[in-house]
Structure 1
Amino acid sequence: MSSPQIVTVVSTFAALLSMISFIPQAWSIIRSRNTDGISLKTYVITVIGFVTWLFYGVLVMQWPIIVQNIICLILSAFILTMKLLPQEKKEAVADAMTPSMLEDDPG
């Protein structure tokens, strides 16, 4: 592979890892309805960081930066929102996002 191809492969892999890194935490919150172990300060800073990266991507018109940061922003903002919601609302959101077949599963 040539150097530009290596850069593309590495940057794509890094972007994919960044995007999917929030999925286990979001799914854990949906399943447990518990955000006690989530740092509010960390997620406020993370969301602000993704908003800033998104703004940068728009300024330089780089679609890979824009798309990656939109996805990361959505996932991290979901986690932050769940952290901020009262328990009843967390449960309502989680119920709405949980497939009904998982609720019916006795095991």
Structure 2
Amino acid sequence: MDLVTIIGSLAALCSTTSFAPQAWRIVKTRDTSAISSRMYMITVVGFALWLVYGVMKTEWPLIATNSICLALSAFILVMKLLPQRKKEEVASTLDPTSEGQAH
């Protein structure tokens, strides 16, 4: 594996895993008060555009990485925008053992 591929793979790994802890924390705590809606709207649009770019260029590393990032950041944005009752329903479906408490 050449250096460019290693750097690209590490960048993809960092990008795709960076949103997972935040998404899981929201599921566990149901708290999105510290999340910026505006920032996540811009992030979601950015990942959507990167995904379209990857599709247009048929670059599978861009498609895969940005699909995962788009899904996770869109989930966080949706959870931020949902009313608390719906947020509880989604979180309970994803983690039925959690009752909205930080662990």
Counterpart amino acid of residue 86 in structure 2: K
- Matched residue pairs, number? 100
For 1:71, the equivalent position in structure 2 comes to: 68
Q: TM-score, normalised by structure 1?
A: 0.89
Identity %: 55
For 2:4, the equivalent position in structure 1 comes to: 7
Structure 2: runs of 5 or more not aligned: none
Which of 1 and 2 has higher RCO (CA within 8 Å, sep 6+)? 2
Q: TM-score, normalised by structure 2?
A: 0.92
Q: 1:31 aligns with which of 20, 28, 53?
A: 28
**C-alpha distance in 1 between matches for 2:82 and 2:25:** 16
Give every structure 1 segment of 4 or more consecutive aligned residues whose post-TM-superposition deviation is greater than 3 Å.
Answer: none
1:90 correspondence with 2:96:
no
Structure 1: runs of 5 or more not aligned: none
Larger radius of gyration: 1
Provide the alpha-carbon RMSD of the alignment: 1.5
